Amino acid sequence: MKHKKLKLSAVLLLGLGLTSLQAQDSLYVVEKSGTQTQFALSEIKMLTFPSGNLVVNKKDLSSNTYARVDLRQLNFVEIPNAINILEETENTIVLFPNPVNEEFKISLQNAENTQIEIIDLQGRILQKQISSNANELNVNVTQLTKGLYLCKINNGKTTKTIKFLKN
């Protein structure tokens, strides 16, 4: 009788524990800059760590490479305060570092006649910058006071708005 109660208790505890688990379907790569890239687990073929890097090899034979020294963590749940970078095959835009002190960089692919606008939370455009055919832009924000701002990036085909924090 004692064994049956013990078995029943173990089954109940195990069942309750398993119901709180959720199926994981994504891997999140979080960099020290705060950017977070999501990968569907069903699309990942293999993770490797060659010569100081993390390489995410996907089933479609493409890959993403990250320097291990620039990584904060790998997660199976989304980190709410990180900046999400949606995977795109073209027009990938990354703003770093975030938060920023004096200057941030915007990394672009296929950038032609790109317009950058810095906007405060009241919707006022505080700064404009136009660049042509640059893969990386430097944006000086020393004149901004501390706070949260939006960086609107428009290359004529795609518009992306990224939040950033000025320290």
Residue range 31-55: average pLDDT?
A: 85
In angstroms, the Cα distances linking 23 to 7, 26, 79, 140 are 26, 9, 17, 43
Domain contains 11: no
What is the domain extent for residue 100? 88-167
Query: pTM of the predicted model, to two decimals?
Result: 0.47
Number of separate domains in the chain: 2
Q: What is the pLDDT of residues 133-145, one digit of tens each?
A: 777 888 999 999 9
Mean pLDDT of 95-111: 85
Query: How many CA atoms within 13 Å lie on the side-chain side of 132?
Result: 1
pLDDT of 126 reads 95
The four Cα atoms 17, 18, 21, 26 give a dihedral, to 10 degrees, of: 150
| 18 within a domain of the structure (yes/no) | no
Q: Say if 68 falls within a structural domain.
A: yes
In a domain, 7, yes or no: no
Q: Residue 144: which CATH number?
A: 2.60.40.1930
